[in-house]
Structure 1
Amino acid sequence: MADRGRVGSLIVGSKSCAEKCWRKDHDLHRAKLRQSRSAVDISSPATLAMDHFRNNLKRERLLEDRYVEIDRENQVLLKKMSDQMKKPNPYLKEGPENKPTSLNRTSRKKELQSITKENRRMLKAIQEVKPVYSVKNWDENYKKSAVLLRNCSSYPVITRLPRERSTSSVLMQLDPEADGSGSLSHSRQGSPQIRSGEDHDDPKYVLKEGKRIGATYYLLEMSTDGRVLNISAYDGETQTSLELVVKEKIHRLLYRELNGDYAAVADRLKVDNSRLILDTSGLPGA
Structure 2
Amino acid sequence: EFKMKNQRLVSSKLLDRKWREQEQMIHKRKLREVQSAIRTQQRKPYAPTVTMRNAKKDAMLERRYTEIERENRILLEKMSNIMQNPRPNLYNPMRVEKSSLNRVQRKHELMKITVENQAILRRLQEKQPTYSVTKWMSEFQ
Greater helix share, structure number: 2
Higher RCO, Cα 8 Å, sep 6+: 1
TM-score by length of 1: 0.17
TM-score by length of 2: 0.30
Greater strand share, structure number: 1
